[in-house]
Structure 1
């Protein structure tokens, strides 16, 4: 798989980039006094690797298998699940406030 990246520059600043599609150009094509256009498009083609190598289980050495097992065991220990915590006030709903009692009684914390 390969893909293209298109970039549209206007006056030296990047205006738009697009992957798989065409980059949008400026709305006004301004020209310099030398009659050179200030806008330019750059197309970058990214090519993929065509030769893929496959490895069978017989090609893997015993040391690589042991190393893989150690890494998996270490990851398993590192990401152990925590015990489920009990939240005693999870279903508690506070009472509805009819009036602000502190304001009615004019009691303020200083």
Structure 2
């Protein structure tokens, strides 16, 4: 169970480290109105009024900021030959020992496969007066 949880956590870590996204924020004055991650941020009601006043005052009270979070775009993939000798030795020994755990038992001979137990002449528990309580 721990192995599955650990592998899923590593897969999610790789996924989130390579994903890029943008965070768009809309401010009206100094007040944050809306934050959006994948879509456009909603504009406030002052945006329409501001368009009319822009010709007169030339000053905007609303502003949009966009923060771009760039993920990792190049993953390094090492080959077996790129590893140092100690790492190659460890990886080879670990793989060999791990795969030997899952040997197929059908190839091995089982010496007691066709053994038939002896016939019981008497009930030994009753004869020796030994009972489980």
The two structures have a TM-score, normalised by structure 2, of 0.38
The structure carrying a bigger helix percent of its residues is 2
Largest Rg, 1 or 2: 2
The two structures have a TM-score, normalised by structure 1, of 0.44
The structure carrying a bigger strand percent of its residues is 1
